[in-house]
């Protein structure tokens, strides 16, 4: 029989299939296959002229906009939002509008075209986290911005338009609806129990142990009890902090390592699946919420979201997260 499970954060229900558990090799999806043609790749070293001038780079040698970098941050060539200008908020009858002001950056965090997070060293993984912190810290100085979203699309079906591995950052003048849902539910839980809902989930996962994929002194990676997608994983800090940039220096390398190891297990089990990962964090510039708990959500693209999901808000997961965690640990 299938099982209904309720998310204590959002109140959303999901359906977990227990009758016929889908084996890893049974998933049918478009794998993130790469070509080795780097001559036309704008993110490969030597092709720096093919992107807008870099905002910042971590480099061992060379001048700006030349090879020798380990991480390179550039403006998105086709940005969703523009950094220059005024918001110019307006009301038009029942509608609201403002100018598309924000920031849209590409973080080319791995120089090698054929590698991804699963394939890099601890040092490169740590550097990726530092680049996320640095750009987040810099952009939050702009008082127009209320939220900074960092995410990674890997594979065509996950929304990646270029093969070369990279992350993206979008700074927004509003707090997104999805984020507000989490914030409002977290506040409701906190007001009722005087505790953080994410901290309670953390305690539960550490107690149950059956959904934990990886653990170190500062973080756990686990398949959440209410997983919306097969092999969904969350990485959560053991120390309560509302904002990603509150990371302490000694936590940065362990975060990079647990992220790399989680992605390595996913790649090994499912043979390089497409995925998205997103850093969920508190808003900024006066909109911070101390009762929130930042975390990273990793979502492989193994199934399609169709009419039932869109119409009901339910997700149907063909593999229990307890089984997913066991498979990832093999």
pLDDT in tens, 261-300: 999 999 999 999 999 999 999 999 988 899 999 999 999 9
Task: Identify the pLDDT of residue 23.
Answer: 86
pTM attached to this predicted model: 0.94
Structure tokens at 69: 């970098």
Query: Which residues are known to be catalytic?
Result: 166
Task: Identify the pLDDT of residue 314.
Answer: 85
DSSP sequence for 209-253? -TTEEEE-SSEEEE--TT-SSTT-EEEEESS--SSGGG--HHHHH
Task: Identify the pLDDT of residue 32.
Answer: 66
Task: Identify the pLDDT of residue 183.
Answer: 95
Structure tokens at 163: 């093969």
Contact 21, 319 (CB under 8 A): yes
Number of H helices, E strands in the chain: 6, 15
Low-confidence ranges of the chain (pLDDT < 70): 32-34
Cα 36–Cα 233–Cα 140 angle in degrees, nearest 5: 80
Contact 23, 34 (CB under 8 A): no
Domain definitions of the chain by residue range: 3-83+96-329
**SS3 state at 74:** strand
- Domain 3-83+96-329 is of which CATH architecture? 2-Layer Sandwich (3.30)
């Amino acid at each position: 029989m299938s099982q209904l499970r309720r998310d204590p954060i959002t109140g959303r229900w999901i359906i977990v299939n227990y009758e016929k558990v889908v084996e890893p090799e049974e998933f049918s999806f478009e794998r993130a296959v790469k070509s080795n043609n780097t001559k036309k790749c704008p993110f490969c070293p030597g092709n720096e002229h093919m992107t807008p001038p870099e905002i910042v780079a971590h480099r061992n040698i060379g001048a700006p906009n030349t090879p020798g970098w380990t991480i390179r941050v550039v403006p998105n060539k086709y940005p969703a939002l523009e950094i220059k200008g005024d918001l110019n908020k307006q009301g038009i009858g029942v509608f609201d509008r403002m100018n598309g002001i924000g920031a849209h950056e590409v973080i080319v965090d791995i120089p090698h075209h054929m590698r991804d997070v699963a394939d890099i060293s601890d040092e490169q993984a740590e550097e990726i986290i530092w680049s996320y912190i640095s750009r987040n810290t810099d952009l939050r100085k702009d008082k127009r911005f209320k939220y900074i979203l960092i995410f990674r699309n890997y594979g065509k079906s996950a929304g990646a338009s270029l093969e070369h591995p990279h992350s993206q950052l979008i700074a927004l003048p509003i707090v997104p609806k999805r984020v507000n849902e989490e914030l409002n539910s977290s506040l409701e839980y906190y007001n009722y129990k005087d505790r953080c809902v994410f901290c309670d989930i953390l305690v539960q996962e550490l107690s149950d142990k059956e959904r934990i994929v990886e653990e170190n002194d500062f973080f756990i990676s686990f398949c959440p009890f209410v997983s919306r997608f097969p092999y969904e994983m969350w990485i959560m800090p053991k120390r309560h902090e509302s904002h990603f940039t509150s990371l302490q220096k000694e936590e940065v390398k362990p975060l990079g390592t647990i992220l790399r190891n989680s992605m390595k297990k996913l790649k090994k089990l499912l043979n390089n699946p497409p995925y998205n990962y997103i850093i969920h964090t508190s808003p900024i510039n006066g909109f911070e919420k101390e009762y929130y708990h930042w975390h990273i959500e990793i979502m492989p693209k193994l199934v399609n979201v169709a009419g039932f999901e869109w119409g009901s808000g339910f997700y149907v997961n063909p593999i229990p997260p307890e089984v997913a965690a066991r498979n990832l640990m093999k």
